[in-house]
């Protein structure tokens, strides 16, 4: 198949491109490099079935393909708050452009939504039927509400026009190809630890997250695309094992055999206190659940950041 991956030079997108190529598909990687990086796709550029297209999907895209994975959107607060208007555009005009392309070509489109559609949830774990608790005018709204609008557009195009859609809600994902300035908790902790800095804990560190290794997340996306037209989602994709932010910090330091040093700061506004997916639908519909041991995934992620920092280190004469 000829498959479009928007956001294909990003963290998850680059892993998805690589997996699709291994499955024998032709891949069109579309990215404007706002948060994506050519570094992530360098190993793919020599593959004759891979093509990189630098493009912003808030502008129309004209090409031929058999399926679309839409991952084009900055996913960490430090990135999506840098340009909140552009973030909202990706969820609205960007989504409209990609749905329009799917409509014209009569092909399925998978929208990479997010656990942020649940906001600061009042129920735990979060099930797909939960409508969420989102501040529509807060600093995170550009991302949270942008993704919620994107989901609404997907289902409107499906109901009114019959566009085949697949919606997945991705929870915290980690692994190689994360950026140094990613701004998410696991990358922040690893980079601070490798630089010999105290780890920044917001609040008391009692807020929880659940972490899914990127290979597992990508496997779920591919499985979702392979389902029949009757499967639209949304389906949660994530690890159902909760860990507190403080415990995560301790695990990172322990993996590097470093002393526990922390710096506490006030909790950011609208930061969710608990986040954990109910993956019953993923298990029953996709036959999927995460299989990567966290300690193994953490070691591989640490190795990725060690390589980046080593490459950036000044060289002697």
- pLDDT tens-digit readout, 27-42: 999 999 999 999 999 9
Residue with tokens 């990172």: 252
In the residue annotation, 213 being an active-site residue is answered as no
Q: Answer yes or no: is pLDDT of 283 > 80.
A: yes
Q: What is the pLDDT of residue 78?
A: 82
Give CA separation, 270 vs 108, 137, 219, in Å.
Answer: 34, 11, 31
d(Cα 59, Cα 316) in Å, to the nearest integer?
46
pLDDT tens-digit series, residues 213-250: 999 999 999 999 999 999 999 999 999 999 999 999 99
Catalytic residue among 69, 80, 143, 213: 143
Nearest to 77 by CA among 18, 35, 23, 128: 35
pTM for the predicted model, two decimal places: 0.93
Domain 2-172+213-238+277-291 falls in which CATH fold?
Rossmann fold (3.40.50)
> Which residue is it, tokens 């590097």?
256
pLDDT tens-place string over residues 82-123: 899 999 999 999 999 999 999 999 999 999 999 999 998 999
177's tokens:
């190809």
């Amino acid at each position: 198949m000829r498959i479009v991956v928007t956001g294909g030079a990003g963290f998850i997108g680059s892993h998805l491109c690589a997996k699709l190529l291994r499955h024998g598909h032709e891949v069109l990687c579309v990215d404007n490099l706002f948060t994506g990086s050519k570094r992530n796709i360098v190993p793919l550029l020599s593959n004759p079935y891979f093509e990189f297209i630098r493009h912003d999907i808030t502008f129309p895209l004209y090409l031929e393909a058999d399926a679309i994975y839409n991952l084009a959107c900055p996913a960490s607060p430090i990135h999506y708050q840098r340009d909140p208007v552009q973030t909202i555009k990706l969820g609205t005009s960007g989504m409209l452009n990609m749905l329009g392309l799917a409509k014209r070509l009569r092909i399925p489109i998978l929208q990479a939504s997010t656990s942020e559609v649940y906001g600061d949830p009042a129920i735990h774990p979060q099930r797909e039927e939960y409508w969420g608790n989102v501040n529509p005018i807060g600093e995170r709204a550009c991302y949270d509400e942008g993704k919620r609008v994107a989901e609404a557009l997907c289902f409107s195009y499906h109901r009114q026009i019959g566009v085949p859609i697949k919606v997945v809600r991705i929870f915290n994902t980690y692994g190689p190809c994360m950026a140094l300035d990613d701004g998410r908790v696991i990358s922040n902790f690893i980079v601070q630890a490798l630089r010999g800095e105290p780890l920044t804990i917001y609040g008391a560190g009692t807020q929880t997250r659940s972490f899914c290794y990127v290979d597992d997340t990508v496997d779920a996306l591919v499985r979702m695309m392979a389902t029949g037209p009757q499967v639209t989602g949304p389906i949660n994709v994530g690890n159902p094992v909760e860990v507190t932010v403080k415990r995560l910090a301790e695990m990172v330091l322990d993996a590097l055999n470093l002393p526990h040093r922390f710096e506490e700061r006030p909790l950011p506004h609208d930061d969710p206190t608990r986040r954990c997916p109910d993956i019953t639908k993923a298990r029953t519909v996709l036959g999927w659940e995460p299989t990567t041991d966290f300690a193994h995934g953490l070691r591989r992620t640490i190795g990725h950041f060690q390589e980046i920092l080593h490459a950036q280190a000044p060289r002697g004469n």
